[in-house]
Amino acid sequence: MKNLPENTLQLYLIKVAKWFNLVMPIVVLFYQDNGLSMSQIFLLKSIYSIAMVATELPSGYLADVWGCRRTILFGAFLGIIGIIIYSISSDFASFAIAEVILGIGFSFVSGADSAMLYDSLKAQNRESEYIKFEGRITSAGNFAEALAGVAGGLLATIHVFVPD
């Protein structure tokens, strides 16, 4: 553990939490079970993407002003709020609000996590190892996403609302 740069374990946890999305393999079924049409489902995903892209630059600026740690915590807080709204919602408008909040939250974590890793490595004069650590952390996130896909699908066999 001595060999790991500062914040590395936290960054692994952030990446895993960011990508361990149990609802993803059954999200269309979840929406349909709540009475949404396919065009509404596509619109929700567009709303999320627009919210995320629209706040990428402002979130990067705030990461510079507030610091990466605060920006990531704020993004995680928004993620929790978005999931709570999803958990108590059953209509398009509520899901749209949740998607906006989730998109903004994702943009606050996106980039700030990589900047935190780079800054941690730079503080130890180990910037040349950035690609190695970023790759490992990204792989952990990919593994979490794959695991969540299988687990979410299995949980949905019990009931479509179990992964939610």
Summarised one tens digit per residue, pLDDT across range 85-138 is 988 999 999 999 999 999 999 999 988 999 999 999 999 999 999 999 999 999
52 versus 14: the higher-pLDDT residue is: 52
Q: What is the per-residue pLDDT for 29?
A: 86
Grade residue 18 by pLDDT with cuts at 50, 70 and 90.
confident
Checking 146-154 for CB contacts under 8 A at 24+ apart, the result is: 147/20, 148/19, 148/20, 148/21, 148/22, 148/24, 148/25, 149/24, 149/25, 150/25, 151/22, 152/21, 152/22, 152/23, 152/24, 152/25, 152/26, 153/25, 153/26
Q: What is the per-residue pLDDT for 152?
A: 85
Per-residue tokens: 39: 């065009």
Q: What is the per-residue pLDDT for 72?
A: 94
Q: What is the per-residue pLDDT for 157?
A: 81
Residue pair 155/22 in contact (Cβ under 8 Å)? The answer is yes
- Could you report how far apart the first and last alpha carbons of the chain are, in Å? 35
φ and ψ at residue 12, rounded to 5 degrees:
-60, -45
pTM score, whole prediction: 0.85
Q: Which of 95, 69, 100 is nearest to 164 (CA)?
A: 95
Domain residue spans of the chain: 39-125
Q: What is the pLDDT of residues 25-79, one digit of tens each?
A: 888 988 998 999 999 999 999 999 999 999 999 999 999 999 999 999 999 999 9
Grade residue 164 by pLDDT with cuts at 50, 70 and 90.
low
Grade residue 80 by pLDDT with cuts at 50, 70 and 90.
very high
Q: What is the per-residue pLDDT for 68?
A: 93
